[in-house]
Structure 1
Amino acid sequence: MAETEAVKHVVLAKFKEDLTPEKVEEIINGYAGLVSLIEPMKDFHWGTDVSIENLHQGFTHVFVSTFESTEGIAEYVSHPVHVEFANMFLQHLDKILVIDYKPTTAKLS
């Protein structure tokens, strides 16, 4: 299996139920805006759960960011803009799970 250099930062979240859709959209737009403000953050995607397996454990949103290295994630996590955003983001969540991983591609024969 071939390992890529990039590192993915995956955040699973469940927003508090009393948030309006407009507030959720505002928060997501703020998250997406970090990619243009924090240099190590190279890419950002997000979506909502659409699984038919019902194994989401209450998580409703997924956010995936790409970094060149684990050092880039460390720089991102401690960046003042991220710290400010994270403090606001966390107060609007019921649940959060964060995983960082290096993608590996399986060789198919």
Structure 2
Amino acid sequence: MEGAKAGGVVKHILLAKFKDEIPQYQIDQIIQGYAKLVHLIEPMKAFHWGKDVSIENLHQGFTHIFESTFESVEGIAAYVSHPAHVEFANIFLGFLEKVLVVDYKPMPVQL
């Protein structure tokens, strides 16, 4: 995995499909809990989220997208093992029917 070590921003993307029986207020609470991690875990530099708005209908049931920004792959490793993340993930995953996680380094377009 060339270029994955320190240096350069790394994006952590999580796609989620909440279980049908989870009420909206609980989804809102879990999103707030996720957003708070950026203030608790130093390697996590930014957090954004949104709901799928695509007209292509290719979402495969995933409805929510969560994007976290880190300075390195090592920062993601520190985040994953951080006690605040572990505690949150144990709760969060119980709300989900499906989850997909991808980490990537944004690359400039070279024309």
TM-score normalised according to structure 1 size: 0.94
More strand by share: 1
Does residue 38 (structure 1) correspond to residue 52 (structure 2)? The answer is: no
TM-aligned CA deviation for residue 12 of structure 1: 0.2
Task: Map Cα deviations across residues 28-54 of structure 1 (whole Å, 9 max, x no partner).
Answer: 000000000000000000000000000
For structure 2, the residue ranges without an aligned partner over 5 or more in a row are: 1-6
- Return structure 1 stretches of 4+ with deviation > 3 angstroms: none
Segments of structure 1 that go 5 or more residues without pairing to the other structure are: none
- From 73, 98, 101, give the equivalent of 2:101: 98
- What is the one-letter code of the residue matched to 2:87? E
Residue in 2 aligned with 1:67?
70
Structure 1 residue identity aligned to 2:107? T
Q: Name the CA distance, whole Å, in 2 between partners of 1:67 and 1:31.
A: 15
Identity of aligned residues (%): 67
**What SS does the aligned partner of 1:104 have?**
coil
How many residues align? The count is 105
Separation in structure 1 between the aligned mates of residue 91 and residue 53 of structure 2, nearest angstrom: 26
Pairing 1:76–2:76 present: no
What CA deviation, in whole Å up to 9, does each residue of 1:2-59 have, x standing for no partner? xx81000000000011111111000000000000000000000000000000000000
Aligned to 2:26, which of 16, 23, 47?
Answer: 23
Q: Which residue of 2 aligns with 1:11?
A: 14
1:71 deviates by 0.2
Corresponding residue SS for 1:59: coil
RMSD over aligned Cα atoms: 1.0
Alpha-carbon distance in structure 2 between the residues aligned to 1:61 and 1:48: 4
